[in-house]
C-alpha cells in the first residue's frame, strides 16, 4: 500500500521538477498580481486607512498559486487516460484507492511547493511577514489548501473524458473561487450576499489562515480555518476516491 502511494507521489514530484518551463511559466501570474495590484492599488489602500496593500495581497496571491496548481493537476488524469498511461496503472494489482491517494498527495505536494516559491517571490517583491514564528502554521494551511483542491480536481477529472471539457469546467469554478475568497479585498463591510458566498467558499479559509499566520490579519480565526479546511478536505478525498474507483477506462 505505502509503496504504491510513495511511487505515485514521487512520480508527480519528478514531473514537476523536470518541467522547468512549467515552474517558470506558473510564476508569471503571481508576479503580475504582486507588482501591478500590490503597487498599483497600494496608495489607494493606504489612503483608505487599511495599511500596506502588498502585505494584505501577498497571502492571497500565495493561495491563488496553490489553487491553480492543485486543481489543474487533475488534467494529468485525463491526459494519462487519453494516452493509455492510466490504464497501465489501473490494471496493476493494487487498490485504486491507493492510486488516487498517491496521485493526490503528489499533486498537493507540488502545489505546496509552488506556494512556497511564490512566498519567496513575494518577499523579493517587498512583502515582509510580521511574525515568522507562525510560519509552520502557514505551511500547514497551505498544505491543507493544496490537498483540498487537488482532491477536488481529481474528483472532477474522474467524471470527464477530454481536456477541453476539464478546462471549461475549471475556468467556470476557479475564477469565482479565487475572486470571492477575500484574496484581493477584505471581507468585512461587504454586502451580505458576497459575505455569505465567501463563507461558503473553502478557499476563503485558506486565504484567511495564511494571512493570519503571515501578517496577523484574520476574518474567521485559526480554529475555524483549520476546522473547515480539514472537514472539506476529508469530504473531497472521500468523494474523489469514490469517483476515481468508479472511473471507466
Q: Strand, helix or coil at 236?
A: helix
pTM of this prediction?
A: 0.87
How many structural domains does the chain have? 1
Stretches where the chain sits below pLDDT 70 are 1-26, 48-50, 80-96, 163, 166, 247-249
Give the pLDDT confidence score for residue 213 in this predicted structure.
92
Q: What cell was used for 200?
A: 461558503
Q: What CA–CA distance (Å, rounded) separates 223 from 9?
A: 29
Give the pLDDT confidence score for residue 8 in this predicted structure.
63
Give the pLDDT confidence score for residue 148 in this predicted structure.
92
Q: What CA–CA distance (Å, rounded) separates 221 from 141?
A: 12
Give me the DSSP letters along 67-116.
HHHHHGGGHHHHHHHHTTHHHHHHTSSS-HHHHHHHHHHHHHHHHHHHHH
Give the pLDDT confidence score for residue 207 in this predicted structure.
94
Q: What CA–CA distance (Å, rounded) separates 114 from 104?
A: 15
Give the pLDDT confidence score for residue 244 in this predicted structure.
72
Give the pLDDT confidence score for residue 18 in this predicted structure.
60
Give the pLDDT confidence score for residue 203 in this predicted structure.
94
Give the C-alpha distances (Å, rounded to integers) separating 57 from 23, 63, 80, 162: 21, 10, 36, 35
Give the pLDDT confidence score for residue 214 in this predicted structure.
92
| Domain of residue 223, residue span | 2-245
Largest CA distance in the chain: 63
The helices-and-strands tally (H runs, E runs) of the chain is 14, 0
Amino acid at each position: 500500500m505505502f509503496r504504491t502511494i510513495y511511487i505515485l507521489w514521487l512520480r508527480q514530484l519528478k514531473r514537476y521538477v523536470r518541467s522547468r518551463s512549467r515552474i517558470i511559466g506558473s510564476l508569471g501570474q503571481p508576479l503580475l498580481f504582486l507588482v501591478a495590484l500590490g503597487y498599483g492599488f497600494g496608495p489607494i489602500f493606504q489612503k483608505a486607512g487599511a495599511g500596506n496593500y502588498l502585505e494584505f495581497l501577498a497571502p492571497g496571491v500565495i493561495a491563488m498559486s496553490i489553487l491553480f496548481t492543485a486543481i489543474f493537476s487533475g488534467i494529468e488524469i485525463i491526459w494519462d487516460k487519453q494516452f493509455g498511461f492510466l490504464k497501465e496503472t489501473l490494471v496493476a494489482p493494487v487498490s485504486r484507492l491507493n492510486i488516487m491517494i498517491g496521485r493526490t498527495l503528489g499533486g498537493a505536494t507540488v502545489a505546496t511547493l509552488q506556494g512556497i516559491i511564490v512566498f519567496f517571490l513575494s518577499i523579493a517583491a517587498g512583502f515582509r511577514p510580521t511574525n515568522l514564528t507562525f510560519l509552520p502554521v502557514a505551511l500547514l494551511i497551505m498544505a491543507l489548501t493544496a490537498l483540498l483542491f487537488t482532491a477536488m480536481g481529481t474528483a472532477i477529472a474522474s467524471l470527464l473524458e477530454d481536456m477541453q471539457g476539464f478546462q471549461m469546467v475549471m475556468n467556470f469554478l476557479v475564477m469565482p473561487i479565487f475572486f470571492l475568497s477575500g484574496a484581493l479585498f477584505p471581507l468585512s463591510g461587504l454586502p451580505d450576499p458576497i459575505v455569505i458566498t465567501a463563507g461558503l467558499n473553502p478557499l476563503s479559509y485558506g486565504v484567511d489562515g495564511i494571512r493570519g499566520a503571515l501578517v496577523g490579519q484574520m476574518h474567521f480565526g485559526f480554529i475555524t480555518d483549520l476546522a473547515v479546511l480539514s472537514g472539506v478536505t476529508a469530504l473531497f478525498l472521500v468523494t474523489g476516491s469514490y469517483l476515481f474507483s468508479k472511473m471507466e477506462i
